[in-house]
């Protein structure tokens, strides 16, 4: 997608410090962090939301989680705990129309949702 900021980051068209890159995903720090550690794992393939992901994306979705697991270790939050979040649609807080996974950690997080 031409206007998608995450597609531009994944394509290397934006000056973004990547925390991780491989053939399927990129990861970088969130520009509006909600926790001391707040990274995004973004697929290079443009998928609008988790609702738009198809059966052919099953391995990609699993890869996103494994990438977040590696990042949690690299960023020093795997032992203290971290949260993974995927928002689906504007009503759930998705602000960029490109599937992405949030990795949050580095402090105690509220145990409840909402």
Gap between the Cα atoms of 42 and 64, Å rounded: 8
> Tokens for 21?
């890159």
User: CA 98 → CA 65, 71, 75, distances in Å?
Assistant: 16, 20, 24
Residue-range domains of the chain with CATH: 5-105 (3.30.428.10)
φ, ψ (nearest 5 deg) of residue 39: -115, 155
pLDDT digits (tens, 9 = 90+) for 8-42: 999 999 999 999 999 999 999 999 999 999 999 99
The pTM score is 0.94
Q: Which position among 38, 98, 100, 102 bears the catalytic label?
A: 100
Taking alpha carbons only, the member of 102, 98, 101 closest to residue 37 is 102
User: How would you list the strands of the sheet with 18-21, edge to edge?
Assistant: 18-21, 25-29, 37-43, 101-105, 82-85
For this structure, is 100 an active site residue? Answer: yes
pLDDT digits (tens, 9 = 90+) for 37-96: 999 999 999 999 999 999 999 999 999 999 999 999 999 999 999 999 999 999 999 999
């Amino acid at each position: 997608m031409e206007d998608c900021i995450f597609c531009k980051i994944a394509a290397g068209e934006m000056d973004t410090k990547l925390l991780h890159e491989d053939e399927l995903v990129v990861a970088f720090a969130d520009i509006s962090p909600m926790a001391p550690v707040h990274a995004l794992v973004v697929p290079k393939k443009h998928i609008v939301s988790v609702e738009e992901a198809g059966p052919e994306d099953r391995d990609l979705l699993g890869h996103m989680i494994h990438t977040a697991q590696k990042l949690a270790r690299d960023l020093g939050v795997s032992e203290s705990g971290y949260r993974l979040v995927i928002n689906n649609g504007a009503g759930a807080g998705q602000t960029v129309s490109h599937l992405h996974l949030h990795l949050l950690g580095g402090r105690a997080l509220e145990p409840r949702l909402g």
